[in-house]
Amino acid sequence: MSAEVVVGVNGIGKAYQIYQRPQDRLKQFVWPRLQRAIGTPARNYYRDFWAVRNMTFELRRGETVGIIGRNGSGKSTLLQLICGTLTPTEGTVEVRGRVAALLELGSGFNPEFTGRENVYLNAAILGLTPSQIKDKYDEIVAFADIGDFIEQPVKTYSSGMMVRLAFAVIAHVDADLLVIDEALSVGDAIFTHKCMRWLRSFQERGSLLFVSHDTASVQGLCDRAIWLDQGACRTQGAAKDVTEAYLKYSFQQMGGEAIELRELDGKREAVSDDAPAVSYQAHISAEPNVTDARGWNTGHAEVVSVLLENVSSPDAGHFEGGEIVRVRIRAKAHVAIDRPILGFLLRDRLGQDLFGENTLPVTNLAPKPIPAGGNAEAMFQFRLPHLPNGHYELMASIAEGDLYNHVQHHWLHDAVLVQVSSSNVRYGLVGLPFQHVDMRVVDDR
Ligand SMILES: Nc1ncnc2c1ncn2[C@@H]1O[C@H](COP(=O)(O)OP(=O)(O)OP(=O)(O)O)[C@@H](O)[C@H]1O
């Protein structure tokens, strides 16, 4: 296995023994031994069911690979084979480095132990020494953010709390490979954002295997994807190509035999007709979160308030896509800041950057120094895009310097929490204000 390969899966397969009737299990236990003892050929009372078969692939250092497929297609089995919690019936798996896995909910936890005891147990299983665990314990607990429940038995946890604790542990064990099985979907929006942010920073140094039914997550997070179908690899390749093929297959399955989805070559004539505009009503609320926001600071300057407000009614607290809004960021300089830059960025629940801006376009040529103890306010006015339903975070920061060389003095990941509901935008990251959508039957036979 080359030095760059973190996981090498070679012709791996896992077969389970399936018994037609309960008594066959007993027969299988007794007869083959007896038959061997008397020297007659032993017969089996089960059939092999291959949950995974003939899988071969490599995961390279720094790569993120997504695994998609229908229920029962073998995704969890494959991950367990890679993590070593299942033994392959055939083939080999080689893994280089420390592997941390978030598999089935609660697996790896002893329900009778408290959160604290489970942190020690899990981190030790993952190879940390007791003193390393002691050093990281406070960080793990802060990341999990489950309050006093950390001293309660894990059997009293909600599924969200369980995943918080499990993720907090795997995020602090310096793993080379992370294996994550769908588990994040039970966390709440704020925690999912936090995990996605953490995963994106982890991707810069480690490798990730990620199972999800959500093709958008796989496209957003993964370089490559593997589509499993009935235990076998149906296709693997660039995440975009594989997820598109899977999506087409899923729609085909939903439509049944009555519908045939055929590939289009993209060379069709444009249709241009007058039609009514699409209405994109949605409820968007924005909750300022500066005091509870996560991030970092140098102590030189501080973002003191961030508001997303409707220009026509700033106190309303809610608005719609397509309206003119503004982001107002107020910052205080604790020492003199010669070349301040204030900026913001809106991110979706997967941590994908949707849009943002900073003051460099106006301050790069004409810096506006803030004296020590002074304040500055930046305002960005724009037409709010139409957004799909979901939770978003508005990041805000104050930095010092220029485009290429700057120090971020105060960075708040979630300075404003934005929630969009009842949106008509169903596809993509943002919706466009379509001017015409129409359909007519054209009789050109
Ligand atoms: N212990 C077992 N004994 C017999 N069959 C098993 C066992 N564990 C899993 N299977 C079977 O193996 C197949 C693959 O299961 P697996 O859990 O890997 O699928 P999956 O793709 O992760 O499914 P899901 O998306 O529903 O989580 C399924 O048909 C399942 O019924």
Q: Structure tokens of 226?
A: 């593997």
Out of 75, 102, 104, mutate this one to test ligand 1's pocket (max ligand atoms within 8 Å of CB): namely: 75
Q: What number of other Cβ atoms are within 10 A of residue 304's Cβ?
A: 15
Residue 80: CB within 6 Å of ligand 1?
no
Residue 71: CB within 6 Å of ligand 1?
yes
Structure confidence by residue, pLDDT tens digits, 414-443: 999 999 888 878 778 888 777 777 788 888
Ligand 1 atom at shortest distance from the alpha carbon of 14:
12
Residue 13: CB within 6 Å of ligand 1?
no
Distance CA 328, CA 281 (A): 24
Structure confidence by residue, pLDDT tens digits, 17-35: 888 777 777 777 777 777 7
Residue 126 pLDDT > 60, yes or no?
Answer: yes
Is residue 120 within 8 Å of residue 133, measured between CB atoms? Answer: yes
Ligand 1 midpoint to CA 75 (Å)? 8
H helices of 210-238, where?
A: 215-221
Residue 230 region, left (φ>0) first, then alpha (ψ -120 to 50), else beta?
Answer: left
Is residue 322 within 8 Å of residue 435, measured between CB atoms? Answer: no
Of 79-88, 153-162, 399-408, least confident by mean pLDDT is 399-408
Name the percent of the chain lying above pLDDT 70. Answer: 91
Query: Which pLDDT band holds residue 278 (cuts at 50, 70, 90)?
Result: low
Ligand 1 midpoint to CA 16 (Å)? 10
Distance CA 270, CA 439 (A): 13
Residue 69: CB within 6 Å of ligand 1?
yes
Distance CA 23, CA 19 (A): 9
Q: Residue 241: exposed, middle, or buried by beta-carbon count in 10 A (0-12, 13-18, 19+)?
A: middle
* Shortest-distance Cα residue to atom 29 of ligand 1: 72
Q: Which pLDDT value is given to residue 192?
A: 80
Q: Which pLDDT value is given to residue 236?
A: 94
Q: Which pLDDT value is given to residue 1?
A: 62
Residue 48: CB within 6 Å of ligand 1?
no
3-state helix, strand, coil in the chain (%, to 5): 25, 35, 40
Residue 264 pLDDT > 70, yes or no?
Answer: no
Residue 77: CB within 6 Å of ligand 1?
yes
The pairing of strands 232-238 and 224-229 is antiparallel
- 82: Cβ–Cβ under 8 A, 6 or more apart, which residues? 7, 9, 93, 95, 99, 179, 209
Give the residue-averaged pLDDT of 286-302: 90
Distance CA 158, CA 298 (A): 36
Ligand 1 atom at shortest distance from the alpha carbon of 231:
14
The pairing of strands 207-211 and 64-68 is parallel
Distance CA 350, CA 195 (A): 9
Is residue 377 within 8 Å of residue 329, measured between CB atoms? Answer: yes
Is residue 357 within 8 Å of residue 380, measured between CB atoms? Answer: yes
Query: Which pLDDT band holds residue 273 (cuts at 50, 70, 90)?
Result: very low
Query: Which pLDDT band holds residue 271 (cuts at 50, 70, 90)?
Result: very low
Give the residue-averaged pLDDT of 352-372: 89
Query: Which pLDDT band holds residue 275 (cuts at 50, 70, 90)?
Result: very low
Higher pLDDT, 191 or 380: 380
Residue 307: CB within 6 Å of ligand 1?
no
Sign of CA pseudo-dihedral 105, 110, 112, 117: negative
Give the residue-averaged pLDDT of 279-304: 86
Structure confidence by residue, pLDDT tens digits, 49-72: 999 999 999 999 999 999 999 888
Give the residue-averaged pLDDT of 310-327: 82
Residue 256 pLDDT > 70, yes or no?
Answer: no
Sign of CA pseudo-dihedral 20, 25, 29, 30: negative
Structure confidence by residue, pLDDT tens digits, 215-248: 777 888 888 999 999 999 999 999 988 988 888 7
Q: Which pLDDT value is given to residue 290?
A: 92
Q: Which pLDDT value is given to residue 279?
A: 62
Distance CA 374, CA 393 (A): 27
Residue 53: CB within 6 Å of ligand 1?
no
pTM over 0.80: no
Rounded to two decimals, the ipTM of the complex is: 0.96
* Shortest-distance Cα residue to atom 28 of ligand 1: 72
Of 135-139, 241-245, 247-251, least confident by mean pLDDT is 247-251
Residue 212: CB within 6 Å of ligand 1?
no
* Shortest-distance Cα residue to atom 14 of ligand 1: 74
Q: Which pLDDT value is given to residue 106?
A: 62
- 186: Cβ–Cβ under 8 A, 6 or more apart, which residues? 105, 159, 160, 163
Mean of the per-residue pLDDT values of the chain: 85
Domains of the chain (ranges plus CATH)? 5-97+176-255 (3.40.50.300), 283-421 (2.70.50.60)
Residue 74: CB within 6 Å of ligand 1?
yes
Query: Which pLDDT band holds residue 184 (cuts at 50, 70, 90)?
Result: low
